[in-house]
Structures are given as structure tokens and as C-alpha cells.
Structure 1
Amino acid sequence: MCMGKSGPNTPKDKVVLITGTTGTGKSRLSVDLAKHFSGEIINSDKMQVYSGIEIATNLIPLNEQGGVPHHLLGDFRPEDGELTPREFRSLATLSIAEVVSKGKLPIIVGGSNSFNHALLAERFDPTIDPFAPSSSLSTICPDLRYNCCIFWVDVSEQVLFQHLRNRVDKMIESGLFEQLAAFYDPIVDLGPRLGVRKTIGVEEFDRYFRMYPREKNTGVWDLGRKNTYEEAVKAMKERTCLLVKKQKEKIIKLIRGGWEIKRLDATAAIMAELNKSSEVLGEGLSSMDIWQKDIVEESVETVKSFLLEG
């Protein structure tokens, strides 16, 4: 799982990267590994660097962070503008140096592969998008700045799409609608969407809030308002599933470009969560048990070997 060779004099710092599409459990695994290996987590999700709409960005809540220090998570305000890959490279490099200086393991987690590539590629050109349809594999630099152990947490699309549709419903139940209503700015939303305003949910509810602004968002909902609301929720689910396909394409491009990435299959754990039991799998294990067996134990053994390497 090592990427790149150490220089003749100074060995490269070791880091772990956890990537994957939205909703596969990357943040959960990062906390599991950080606890096991005394690590600190560096967020590389381009939406989760912002504060303000934590439900929409699926920012890991404090009670699930397990006391593990997190860097670049909710540190920026929406009005700060859009954080570019080049800026992320600089900020995350400083975070890695800080974690390493404490003698701890830096664990990078996030599905924004433009950020992951910008941070890790030895030769990074901010003027080139390596994931653009017109870009060739030669734009994916196989030589990395760090000695890396990279995991891809994957889930079969059919299972993941159902999980994500359920997750949108849970986000609504948790107060997403109210959070977006407070965040909505009709002046800003008439212009280009930058930074956190690209988050799924903001655009989808734009039409609703333009038709039914907060001052009119009281009283009985008529059929038109209900339909507009349901259209926004449906659009969120569709765009989330489309995002999965785009994220997976980028991971595959990294692999084809020379990145060594270990795939972890979390399908059974997510399926058990959907079914509330894994009896259909004939294992009699809970989702948590399957996650521990299929994902945590395998990744822990891989990281152990990685850290023992010279």
C-alpha cells in the first residue's frame, strides 16, 4: 500500500487516505483508524470545510468524532468564498506537518478527489483539471509527496442508492429544510454558486424558496407548495446518486493513472443497516458487526503492515 519512494536523504512522512463516494462510511472508518493508531483526521471534503449547513454537507457531528482531533472541518464560513485545490494543498500540508510533529498518524478523509489529488500529487499544476473529460491519464501524477496507504470504501450502487435516498429523508427529519431556509439568500442565489453553495440541497431548494420565501412559509400548505417541495427532495436524491457515479469515475481514473488503492467492500454492512439485520446474508450479524469484520479489521491489518515498512 506504499506510494512513491522516499528520497535519498529524507524519508517521506506516512499518511493514510480514505476516499470513496458519498455515503459509504469514510468518516466512520477514519475515526475507527484514528482511535486504533493514535491519529488525527484531516478533512478533504470540499463542502465539509465550511460551517453553516452541517446537515446538508453531512459534516460528522461532534458526538461521532470520538474525541479525535479534526482539521479543516467546518473551519470556513460560506462568505469566505470557494476554497481552491491549490489553497487546500497548502492548508492540508500544514495540517499534516502539525500532526506528524506530534508523533501522530495523519488520516486524510474525503470524497473530493480534486482535493486529494492536489494534496498528494508530487507534480501539481493548478491550471489543469486532471479529471476533466479532455484530460488524459498523464495528468494523474503517480509520484506522491507522501508515503501513502490509500483505501477506497465502496458499496454496490443498487444498495448505496437506496441508502442515500433514505439518508436524504433522515436529513429532512433532522432539520435540513429549516437549515436551508435560514441559509437561503435570494440576492446571492441569483448569482453564480460558489463554495458551500454548491452543496446538494441548496440548488434543489432554490426554486422552492424563491416561490415560498420564509415570510410566506407559514400556514397551510397548498398542493402547489407541496409539489414544489417534493420536487426539491426528489431532485436532491437524483443528484446525490449522480454524484456517486462521478466520484467513482474519478477514483478509477486515479487507479488507472498509477495510484495504488485498496478497495474495501462495505456493501454487506450497508445492506444489513437497510434491512436492520443481516439474516438475508445468512450470517446473523448486525451492521456494526459486519462493518467491524469486513472494513475495520481488514484496514487495521493493512495499516499495521504499512507502518512497519521502512
Structure 2
Amino acid sequence: MESPSTVAAAVSPISPSSRRRKRKIVVIMGPTGAGKSRLSIDLATRFFDNSEIINSDKMQVYSGLDITTNKITMQERRGVPHHLLGAIDPRKSVFTPSDFRNVAAEYINQIRTRRGLPLVVGGSNSLIYSLVTKRYDPKSDVFNGPEPQPYLSKRVDEMLDSGMFEELSEFFRSDEHKRVNRCGLGQAIGIPEFETYFTNFPGLRRTEGSVFEEDVMGQEAYDEAVRRIKDNTCQLAKKQVSKILRLRDAGWELKRIDATEAFRAVMTAERGGARVAEIWEKQVVEPSMKIVKHFLEE
């Protein structure tokens, strides 16, 4: 099992030869659950004043299902402006990489006008690629190739404990799932996996401990949906990491920050303690700050 890690890339949407003459953007990318949002807030609030974050997660751009899509909360944002987070109506057409390229570029211009630093943060590498590549062709696919083997499941349990099941229950009960675009928010992990469950057991409610009282079939259907969510989350992480590796192989200058030890501490008895914060600070925040500072000073 490979633990998640954060991949931070400091890049500019221009050719290297002209980099010194242009103001720059910073991209923080990595697989789901790697700590991208937390790192971006640490950098924005502690080291780089006037930073603003542009979300590059293709499910989080849509409004609704904040827990299911794992959007950063208002409290967690700590006053840092966020753009393209819950901004797109999921009932309308799909928000494509081409759309992201155009809209994000406008936000970057606005942030620069305010003399701010744009931080592009998210795990949807197709969106990041569309923004940063010099000539974007929406018909081309640069992300073909083998996949590495990361694994995630604890993240799903935490989302369920935070209210993901209840959020999806209301989403299906209100028939909102019939109104959202099936090729957009309708693809968010959790919706397809739970659709059969909520169709067959529309009135069933989860009790404490995720146990359904006196309904064995309901419990089995719930367990199967959760298993599929965990499997699909792992597959998503594989794809995200493999895409990052292909960008590196294509010549992108990526800087890797390994957050494995910090996540391992969270998974053990050290969870929630000062040790986790210490590891995160030393192995993630400090090296990331140095990478970004060096990039901006080049």
C-alpha cells in the first residue's frame, strides 16, 4: 500500500525562455486526499500575502453536495478568497477543460491586477493541463499510459461520518439527481455508487455506527455502496498520480513534496496530536514554501 503524498508544482503558463519577464502562478496538484487544500491555505496565510485560490477540481466547481465532493469549508478557508468553488450550476452543460482555461485565465488576470498571487489548487489534472499548456487542443489526450498503485479508504469513512450519507439521501429524495448533468456533477463519486441503494431503500435511515436496525438487506446494500466508493476513490487516485507522472515525463518541472509520514501519523495513535502538526510543518509546509519562494524569485 502506498500512502498519499502531496505534489506541488510551481509553474508558469508561458515558455521557460520568457518566464523571467512574466508574472507567475503557482499550481498545487496531487491525488485525492493528499492535503492540497491544507497546504494551499498554509502558504496563503503564512508566507505569500494577497494569495487567492482558483479551484481546479472538476467536481468541486459545481454547486451542491459539499461533503460528497469534499469542498473546503468556509472556516477552513481562513479568509483566503476562493474562485470556481461551487460556482457552476450542475443542471446546465458540463464545465469542460476549455471552459476552465478561459474562466481561470480571467481570474488570474483579476488577481494579478490586485497584485495578488494566483494559487491553482486541485486534483483534476486535465483542467490544470488545459490552463498551463501553451497551445491547448481539447481533442488530444496526453494522459494515456500505466498507472501506479496508491490506496485510500479512511478518507471515505471520514466523509461518511461528516454527513455524506445524509447529504446524498436528501439529494436523491428531492430528485435533484435527475436534474444535474449526468456527465458533470452526476459523475461525482458517491452518486452512481449509492443510486441503486436509494432506489431500492428510499426510506431507510442510517443509525449510529452505520447500522440499519432490523434490515439486513439494507445494510448489505449500504456496505456494497461504500465498498464501491472506496474502490473508485482508489482508482481515481491512481489516475491522478499517473497523469502527474505523464506531465513530468512530458517535460513539466514538477517539485514533489512527500507527505507520507504526516498521513501515517494521522492513522496511528498520534492522530490529532502535536506530532502530526510538527511533521506536517517540517516535511510539507517548509519545503513547499522554499520551492514557491525560489520559483517566484527566479
Q: Which runs of 4+ in 1 moved over 3 A?
A: 185-192, 218-221
1:33 maps to which residue? 43
- In 1, Cα distance between equivalents of 2:105 and 2:179: 35
Q: How does 1:84-163 map to 2 (within 5 A)?
A: 84-132=96-144, 157=150, 161=151
| Structure 2 contact 171–177 (Cα < 8 Å) conserved | no
Deviations 1:141-183 (A, max 9, x none): xxxxxxxxxxxxxxx93xxx3xx31221121111111111111
Partner AA of 2:153 in structure 1: R
- In 1, Cα distance between equivalents of 2:245 and 2:38: 22
- In 2, Cα distance between equivalents of 1:286 and 1:299: 19
1:168 maps to which residue? 156
Change (3 A) 1:166 1:7: closer
Query: How many angstroms does 1:81 deviate by?
Result: 3.0
- Does residue 5 (structure 1) correspond to residue 16 (structure 2)? The answer is yes
Query: Percent same amino acid among aligned pairs?
Result: 44
2:287 corresponds to which of 282, 298, 307: 298
- In 1, Cα distance between equivalents of 2:41 and 2:221: 38
Which 5+ residue runs of structure 2 have no aligned equivalent?
1-9, 206-211
Q: How does 1:1-310 map to 2 (within 5 A)?
A: 4-7=15-18, 11-35=21-45, 36-38=47-49, 39-132=51-144, 157=150, 161=151, 164-184=152-172, 193-213=182-202, 216-217=203-204, 220-277=213-270, 286-309=275-298
- In 2, Cα distance between equivalents of 1:191 and 1:61: 22
Deviations 1:265-295 (A, max 9, x none): 00000001111328xxxxx961111011001
Query: How many angstroms does 1:76 deviate by?
Result: 1.4
Partner AA of 1:127 in structure 2: K
- In 2, Cα distance between equivalents of 1:207 and 1:132: 31
Query: How many angstroms does 1:197 deviate by?
Result: 1.1
Deviations 1:87-111 (A, max 9, x none): 0100000011111111111000011
Query: How many angstroms does 1:77 deviate by?
Result: 2.4
Query: How many angstroms does 1:220 deviate by?
Result: 4.6
1:205 is paired with a residue whose SS is: helix
Partner AA of 1:166 in structure 2: K
TM-score, normalization by structure 2: 0.86
1:137 maps to which residue? none
1:106 is paired with a residue whose SS is: strand
Query: How many angstroms does 1:50 deviate by?
Result: 1.2
Partner AA of 2:167 in structure 1: Q
1:22 is paired with a residue whose SS is: coil
- In 2, Cα distance between equivalents of 1:118 and 1:300: 25
1:54 is paired with a residue whose SS is: coil
TM-score, normalization by structure 1: 0.82
Q: How many residues align?
A: 276
